[in-house]
Amino acid sequence: MMSVAEKHMMLDVESIRKDFPILNRKVNGKPLVYFDNAATSQTPQQVIDVIVDYYSNYNANIHRGVHRLSQEATDAYEQSRLKIQQHFNAKHPYEIIFTSGTTHGINLVASGFSSLLKKGDEIIVSALEHHSNIVPWQMLCERTGATLKVLPMNENGELILSEFDSLLNDNTKLVFVNHISNALGTINPIESIIEKAHEVGAAVLVDGAQSCPHIKPDLQGLNVDFYVCSAHKICGPTGVGMLYGKEEWLNKLPPYQGGGEMIAEVTFDKTTYADLPHKFEAGTPNICGGIAFGAALDYMNSIGFDAITQYENELLEYGTNELLKIEGLKIYGTAKEKTSVISFNVGNIHPYDIGTILDKMGIAVRTGHHCAQPIMDFYQIPGTIRASFMFYNTKEEIDTFISALKKAVLMLS
């Protein structure tokens, strides 16, 4: 007999799949097997309905509008901010800044730190980062004269935490690390990183783009200074995301862009800026996207992150075991703590060749360097094939993928 707790954790994948219309389509005459979730997740009907409802019934510009539609749109948008605050457990709703996505959030913080850093200051990046969490900081170093240091990784794709202590010192001002590596799936020990960084007074930015669909973080519990993520990774639409910053940090940073929405008073002599969060939300935002972001969180929470994690771990274990049965297949990223992402190569076959043949059989994977060239350089490979699973994928799909992969290998050997 299953306990009540176990029953609660069960995930009914068959009924969940009915929520995602795209999973019914065919690609090249074959049923779609969508394993490119780490690039973007699919959108359930519940979220699509919210998007359609917005444009059908209350599309209007938000804030300051006195008419009914504007008030409805403003209410829905601000309601969504509250949902995001509650989901991520931020202390205040105004600590949630709507952005166009993770990259926007990182650039906003990097730009803000231009006025806070000086020559001799140091900032630390992890070796596991996406280019979007490297390049803005390199640009920040160019502007300020600060130095960029790298927290190295080991062969398994895990950060070498013991090296972190020797990188930290009184000059360290900022540390940025992803919660989960997009290229390898490693779950990074952000709790220890945040704690150690705070000991020397450095702020920490966590890139949650890859973790938000798998792990519900407790931002106050983590005591993290900044956290960024994108809605499209968590069953929401593209072009919208959020930046969380602790109130005291957001107050220290100057505005990122000037424009409407972000001002308190404007004269040609002087402009005073609006309070948080509007100080960072210049211009008309992605209103519909912001509202749909909240709907996506509702959807994810209706399934439950415990059930999601448990089920995705099953898929990861099954997929890993099945893949390793293929001769010559090597998995990159074998961290003890990882999420449902498998990055691999087969013998000397180019990942692009395998990806192309898999596409002919209706299977969507990602191939290439995954915007993480330093990781590929570490392993001295041009790229990998990356299969990434979400809670709506199945073991049967993994079987289809494995047999297609075997066929591709046969054709390409």
Partner 1 sequence: MTIEEIQNEIIDEFAMFEDWEERYQYMIDLGKTLPLIDEQFKTEDHIIKGCQSKVWVHADMDNEKVNFTADSDAVITKGIIAILIRVFSNQHPKDIIEANTDFIDKIGLKEHLSPTRANGLVSMIKQLKLYAIAYQTQLN
368 binds partner 1 (CB under 8 A): yes
Q: Is 324 in the site for partner 1 (CB under 8 A)?
A: no
| Shortest CB 330 distance to partner 1, Å | 17
Specify the residue, 26 or 67, whose C-beta has the smaller distance to partner 1: 26
371 is catalytic: yes
The Cα 223–Cα 206 span in angstroms is 11
Q: Does 367 bind partner 1 (CB under 8 A)?
A: yes
Residue 360 is a binding residue for partner 1 (CB under 8 A): yes
245 belongs to the binding site for partner 1 (CB under 8 A): no
Q: Which secondary structure element, helix H or strand E, spans residue 173, and what is its range? A: strand 172-178
Q: Do β-strands 263-266 and 271-273 pair in parallel, antiparallel, or remain unpaired?
A: antiparallel
Question: Quick one: which of 44, 157, 285, 383 contacts partner 1 (CB under 8 A)?
Answer: 383
Q: Binding residues for partner 1, how many (CB under 8 A)?
A: 14
Residue 357 binds partner 1, judged by CB under 8 A: yes
C-alpha torsion angle, residues 202, 208, 212, 215 (rounded to 10): -50
As measured in angstroms, the least distance from the Cβ of 25 to partner 1 is 17
Q: Do the beta carbons of residue 172 and residue 350 sit within 8 Å?
A: no
Q: Does 358 bind partner 1 (CB under 8 A)?
A: no
Measure the CA–CA gap between 350 and 74, rounded to whole angstroms: 50
The alpha carbon of residue 133 and the mean position of all alpha carbons in its chain are separated, in whole angstroms, by 11
Cα 340 to the center of its chain, rounded Å: 14
- At its nearest, how many Å lie between partner 1 and the CB of residue 51? 25
112 lies in the binding site for partner 1 (CB under 8 A): no
Q: How far apart are CA 262 and CA 281, in angstroms?
A: 6
Question: Is 40 an interacting residue with respect to partner 1 (CB under 8 A)?
Answer: no
Strands 203-207 and 226-230: parallel
**∠ CA 375-376-382 to the nearest 5 degrees?**
170
Minimum distance, C-beta of residue 357 to partner 1, in the bound complex (Å): 7
Measured CA to CA, the distance from residue 249 to residue 90 in angstroms comes to 14
**Is 403 a residue that touches partner 1 (CB under 8 A)?**
no
Q: In the window 113-172, what residues touch partner 1 (CB under 8 A)? A: none
Strands (E) across 197-240 are located at 203-207, 226-230
- 31 near partner 1 (CB under 8 A): no
- Pairing state between β 172-178 and 226-230: unpaired
Q: Which is nearer to partner 1, 286 or 384 (CB)?
A: 384
Q: Establish if 356 lies at the interface with partner 1 (CB under 8 A).
A: yes
Q: Decide: is 396 part of the binding site for partner 1 (CB under 8 A).
A: no
Tell me the window of 218-226, 271-279, 333-341, 355-363 that interacts with partner 1 (CB under 8 A).
Answer: 355-363
Catalytic residues: 371
The footprint of partner 1 (CB under 8 A) covers 28, 349-350, 352-353, 356-357, 360, 367-368, 382-383, 411-412
